[in-house]
Amino acid sequence: MTGAAAAGGGAAAGASAGRGIGTGGGRVAEAVRAARATVSSAAARGPRRARLFVKRIDPWSVMKFSFAVAFVLFFVAIVATAVLYLALDAMGVWESVNKALADMLGATGAKNGFKVTAVGVIGAAGVLGLVNVVLFTALATLSAFIYNVCADLVGGIEVTLSEKD
């Protein structure tokens, strides 16, 4: 009888343990159903949106960023000028321009002729590029200061952020 009682007790313990697992499994299934319902209701509502205001722009960050952009554009301009000069030189444009300049300046009595050279063209592009770097950086930084003053007066720019559809 003790063996049967032990067997019966074991079966009862197993049944109660099975009910505990079944109850836990029911809780998990219920949680999954609730999560699916939440996700489907969120999908039916559409993407989430947040309305934010840009109250201040850090002038130091603007200066660093605008300097980096202007510096990259400086090198792009130098390379583009060199490529364009070489392409026009290969077509003989600069020889024609230099000859026309020599004819015009020679008619006025000038002794020193003006010639368009690679050093002159690329050097002029470099000087203009450096002036552009300084002006672009200064104007962008000044714009950040002006924006901050205006944002204090009117509250800034409203931006709406949204999830993808």
| Tens digit of each residue's pLDDT (9 = 90 or more) over 13-62 | 444 444 445 556 678 888 888 888 777 766 667 778 888 889 999 999 99
Distance CA 72, CA 137 (A): 12
DSSP characters for 49-68?
EEEEEE----HHHHHHHHHH
**Mean pLDDT of the region 10-14:** 47
| pLDDT top residue among 5 and 98 | 98
